[in-house]
């Protein structure tokens, strides 16, 4: 592969060539043996520079191609993704006692979540490997994202989701033409079933963490934060955490940009879980390097993960980055949805607003200083889960007669 040197096991550090295997280290197994994609960083220091980026007019995440695991560029699908807007917020920052707060809205990707960064890469890998079919287990967003890209590529796609995944995500899947299997069970059950099916029928598996290339797509959010903020790295980055793949990938992204000399420091990464699905918070607090499985209970469906598949890398990343994993409850997430919508004009699904809820909590506990800067990553659009998001609204609409007198009367009652 262009700049890739090896795939390195997160646990035993054994190195493999990319042609040797597709998923995880056979010695350490699926959970501990996730692979890290390593590049020729000396070469990249020459190839990927501020000057080269300044001359690059591709404002999608493919602008970072030298640091992506793509062999055949012709397999990149034309859906436009990445380089999502980053907003400096004044009012919102002031409310939290801060001066420098940015919201990066990844709900603006083609299927409306951060997962598009990973799926766009997975589709290229499927085509490169000439796999006949691709599959994924997902709480909903990874699947709907994959299905959007495979629709364009014309790739047969089989999806395993928990039976009660939000309707909008199922709708996306069906219209993008995926075969959708709703598993009677949790996301964690769907994950195991998907892996068994992939092995049985030889499908390429885009399920998170076991596939080393997904995180490569997901790290581009970190690259964009650096570049969009003119290389002024923020003190903190807040992001929601389920399996931990986005979290560890962001960390890898910042580390890589640091290593090739594009930034002179790295942020503290704050991973935010829903209290009802917080195995990584517990492991972090207990100082463990793996997580105990939990039963999940949260309305933030995208992060309702009881067995985080990228736990080893995520727990390593939190220590390396001097970051933290913290938990917020569903009410705190609802407040964050309302604040993001009401003050920044960004409608987030519950998991999409969870990073914000984490910042609100830390600000409230005076754990952020007023002169410290933060970026909050919004990972999914609110229209993906209207029933969930509606729970955050304090307002109700008012029904009026088609009559100005009735409007005059009822308008007065609106808060």
Ligand X SMILES: *Cc1c(COP(=O)(O)O)cnc(C)c1O
Task: Identify any residues that bridge with 267 across adjacent strands, giving them in sequence order.
Answer: none
Can residue 62 be called a binding residue for ligand X (CB under 6 A)? no
Q: Where do runs of H (alpha helix) occur along 26-166?
A: 29-32, 41-47, 50-54, 91-95, 116-128, 141-153
Contact map string, positions 255 to 294, toward ligand X, x by CB under 6 A: ----------------------------------------
Q: Which residue has the tokens 């040197």?
A: 5
| Segment near ligand X (CB under 6 A); pick from 26-34, 69-77, 238-246, 337-345 | 238-246
Number of residues that bind ligand X (CB under 6 A): 20
Can residue 205 be called a binding residue for ligand X (CB under 6 A)? no
Helix (H, G, I), strand (E, B) or coil at 78: coil
Name the residue whose CB lies closest to ligand X. Answer: 380
Q: Please report how close the Cβ of residue 62 comes to ligand X at its closest, in angstroms.
A: 21
Can residue 245 be called a binding residue for ligand X (CB under 6 A)? yes
Q: What is the DSSP letter of 381?
A: B
Question: CB neighbours of 121 closer than 8 A, spacing ≥ 6?
Answer: 68, 69, 70, 213, 214, 216, 217
Q: For residues 237 and 266, what is the distance between their CA atoms, to the nearest angstrom?
A: 10
In terms of C-beta density within 10 A (0-12 exposed, 13-18 middle, 19 or more buried), how is residue 329 classed? middle
**Backbone dihedral angles phi then psi of residue 134, each to the nearest 5 degrees:** -120, 150
Contact map string, positions 379 to 398, toward ligand X, x by CB under 6 A: xx------------------
Q: Please report how close the Cβ of residue 242 comes to ligand X at its closest, in angstroms.
A: 3
Sole binder of ligand X in the list 48, 98, 131, 246 (CB under 6 A): 246
Sole binder of ligand X in the list 89, 113, 119, 298 (CB under 6 A): 113
Q: For residues 413 and 397, what is the distance between their CA atoms, to the nearest angstrom?
A: 11
Sole binder of ligand X in the list 104, 115, 252, 361 (CB under 6 A): 115
Can residue 222 be called a binding residue for ligand X (CB under 6 A)? no
Can residue 247 be called a binding residue for ligand X (CB under 6 A)? yes
HEC profile of 13-76: CCEECCCCCCCCCCCCHHHHCCEEEEECHHHHHHHCCHHHHHCCCCCCHHHHHHHCCCCCHHHC
Q: For residues 409 and 236, what is the distance between their CA atoms, to the nearest angstrom?
A: 48
Question: CB neighbours of 268 closer than 8 A, spacing ≥ 6?
Answer: 235, 236, 237, 321, 322, 323, 324
CB of 84 or CB of 208, closer to ligand X: 208
| Segment near ligand X (CB under 6 A); pick from 17-25, 127-135, 243-251, 336-344 | 243-251
Q: Please report how close the Cβ of residue 130 comes to ligand X at its closest, in angstroms.
A: 27
Can residue 212 be called a binding residue for ligand X (CB under 6 A)? no
Q: Which of 313, 316, 354 is nearest to 335 (CA)?
A: 354
Can residue 10 be called a binding residue for ligand X (CB under 6 A)? no
Sole binder of ligand X in the list 116, 188, 243, 256 (CB under 6 A): 243
CB of 115 or CB of 361, closer to ligand X: 115
Contact map string, positions 342 to 361, toward ligand X, x by CB under 6 A: -------x-xx---------
Q: Please report how close the Cβ of residue 195 comes to ligand X at its closest, in angstroms.
A: 16
Helix (H, G, I), strand (E, B) or coil at 134: strand
Q: Cβ of 87: how many Cβ atoms within 10 Å?
A: 16
The answer to whether 69 touches 40, Cβ cutoff 8 Å, is: no
Q: Please report how close the Cβ of residue 89 comes to ligand X at its closest, in angstroms.
A: 20
Helix (H, G, I), strand (E, B) or coil at 304: coil
Q: Please report how close the Cβ of residue 114 comes to ligand X at its closest, in angstroms.
A: 6
Can residue 242 be called a binding residue for ligand X (CB under 6 A)? yes
Can residue 147 be called a binding residue for ligand X (CB under 6 A)? no
Sole binder of ligand X in the list 244, 323, 382, 388 (CB under 6 A): 244
The answer to whether 234 touches 375, Cβ cutoff 8 Å, is: yes
Question: For binding to ligand X (CB under 6 A), which residues are involved?
Answer: 113-115, 141, 208, 240-247, 302-303, 349, 351-352, 379-380
């Amino acid at each position: 592969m262009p700049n890739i040197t090896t795939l390195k096991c997160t646990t035993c550090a054994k190195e493999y060539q990319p042609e040797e295997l597709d998923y995880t280290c056979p010695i350490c197994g699926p959970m501990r043996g996730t692979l890290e994609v390593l590049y020729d960083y000396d070469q990249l220091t020459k190839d990927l520079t501020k000057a080269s980026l300044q001359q690059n007019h591709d404002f999608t995440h493919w602008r970072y191609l030298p640091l992506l695991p793509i062999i055949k560029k012709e397999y990149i699908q034309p859906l436009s993704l990445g380089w999502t807007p980053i907003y400096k917020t004044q009012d919102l920052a002031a409310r939290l006692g801060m001066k420098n707060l940015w919201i990066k809205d990844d709900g603006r990707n083609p299927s409306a979540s951060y997962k598009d960064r990973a799926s766009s890469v997975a589709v290229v890998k499927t085509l490169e490997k000439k796999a006949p079919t691709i599959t994924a287990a997902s709480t909903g967003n990874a699947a709907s994202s994959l299905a959007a890209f495979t629709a364009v590529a014309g790739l047969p796609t089989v999806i395993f989701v928990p039976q009660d995944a939000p309707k909008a995500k199922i709708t996306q899947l069906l219209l993008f033409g995926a075969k959708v299997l709703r598993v009677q069970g949790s996301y964690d059950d769907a994950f195991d079933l998907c892996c068994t099916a992939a092995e049985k029928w030889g499908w390429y598996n885009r399920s998170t963490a076991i596939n080393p290339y997904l995180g490569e797509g997901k790290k581009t959010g970190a690259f964009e934060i650096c570049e969009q903020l003119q290389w002024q790295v923020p003190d903190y980055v807040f992001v929601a955490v389920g399996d931990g793949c986005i979290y560890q990938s962001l960390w890898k992204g910042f580390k890589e940009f640091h290593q090739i000399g594009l930034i002179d420091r790295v942020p503290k990464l704050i991973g935010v879980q829903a209290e009802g699905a917080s195995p990584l918070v517990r492991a972090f607090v207990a100082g463990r390097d793996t997580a105990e499985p939990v039963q999940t209970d949260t309305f933030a469906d995208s992060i309702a993960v009881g067995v985080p598949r990228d736990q080893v890398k995520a727990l390593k990343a939190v220590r390396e980055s001097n970051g933290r994993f913290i938990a917020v409850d569903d009410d705190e997430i609802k407040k964050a949805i309302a604040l993001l919508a009401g003050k920044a004009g960004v409608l987030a699904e519950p998991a999409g607003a969870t990073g914000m809820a984490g910042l609100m909590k830390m600000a409230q506990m005076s754990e952020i200083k007023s002169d410290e800067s933060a970026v909050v990553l919004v990972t999914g659009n609110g229209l993906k889960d209207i029933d969930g998001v509606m729970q955050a609204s304090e307002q109700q609409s008012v029904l009026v007669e088609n009559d100005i007198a009735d409007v005059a009367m009822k308008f007065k009652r609106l808060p």
